[in-house]
Amino acid sequence: MSFAQISGIFFAASITISVAEMLYLTVVSNQESFVHAYAAPLKNVVFVGIPLEVIIVISLIDGVWGKFLHISPKLVQGRYGPLEYVLPTPSCHRFHHG
């Protein structure tokens, strides 16, 4: 299987949860099985010397933020103020998938 085929499979898995206008936590949580499939090798950095606690904290932040980016922009519209120009938001992420 080529890299293009593998990346196509992951893109197809990702796009199914990203194209709907209204996404909720139950829909977003379906991506977990696909995320672990290709992220597992990256977790082996503990053998390089990075403390396990650091990896856990970063993984938790990344997981929560990833789910947040896939919720409906209508749920959080206009709630960031000036941070909207600095932080990636669901509407920004939806534009990325468009």
d(CA 84, CA 15): 24
Of the candidates 35, 26, 25, 30, the one whose C-alpha atom is nearest the C-alpha of residue 69 is 25
Query: What letter does residue 95 receive in the DSSP assignment?
Result: H
- For the stretch 65-87, pLDDT in tens is 777 776 766 676 767 777 777 77
Residue 24 pLDDT grade (very low, low, confident, very high; cuts 50, 70, 90): low
Length of the chain: 98
What pTM, to 2 d.p., does this model score? Answer: 0.46
Distance, in Å, from the CA atom of 42 to the CA atom of 8, rounded to the nearest integer, reads: 20
